[in-house]
Amino acid sequence: MSDTIVRFIAADDPLARPLLDDLEREYDARYGDLFGEVAKVEINRYPVQEFSLPSGAFLVLVEFVDGVETPIAGGAFRRYDERTAELKRIWTRADRRGRGLAGQVVAALEAEARRLGYTDIFLTTGPRQPEAVSLYLREGYAPQFDTALPPEEVGIHGFRKQLVGPAAASVVREGAIA
């Protein structure tokens, strides 16, 4: 039997490490030093406190299989400006992709951002992540670039979304999505 829950944790919690290590490996494989640095620099660019209350959050989706807690997806946000949160580190383990987990992560982060008073979300993704571009378009994010251009010509792909409605009551700190 398998259950999946959302767990809000510190960005440096050991539970996050497997996902962040996997993210680093994949970024390096996709980009190398295309942007003039390896993925580890980007992943560690911001202090962990930026992904903590009162202005940020870091979460992992964990799956319990026979009572064992395993991180399978995750993401975070930090303050971009007074009313805007910036999504970062949205990630799903390769063996769990295609199950809608990234959409669950984004929805939980949006709900938490609304709860903290943010009215907008901003994010960027790279030209070699078509899955991420598809995710954000599917989740209602407006591209801040010409979608007719080839991804490599666009470079960094920016997206924005206005948050509307109340924070979802089904997301509980250190708890489950109902």
pLDDT of residue 1: 39
pLDDT digits (tens, 9 = 90+) for 19-67: 989 988 888 888 887 777 777 778 788 999 999 999 999 999 999 878 8
Question: Tell me, what DSSP letter sits at residue 148?
Answer: T
pLDDT of residue 23: 85
Could you tell me the fold of the domain covering 2-162? Aminopeptidase (3.40.630)
Q: Where are the domains of the chain?
A: 2-162
Question: Which contacts of 126-132 are long-range, i.e. CB under 8 A and separated by 24 or more positions?
Answer: 126/30, 126/31, 126/35, 126/156, 126/157, 127/151, 127/152, 127/154, 127/155, 127/156, 127/157, 128/30, 128/31, 128/34, 129/30, 129/157, 131/97, 132/90, 132/157
Q: CA torsion, points 41, 42, 43, 49, in degrees to nearest 10?
A: 100
pLDDT tier, 95 (very low <50, low <70, confident <90, very high otherwise) = very high
pLDDT of residue 76: 97
Kindly report the average pLDDT of the chain as a whole number: 88
Q: 134 vs 64, which has greater pLDDT?
A: 134
pLDDT of residue 72: 96
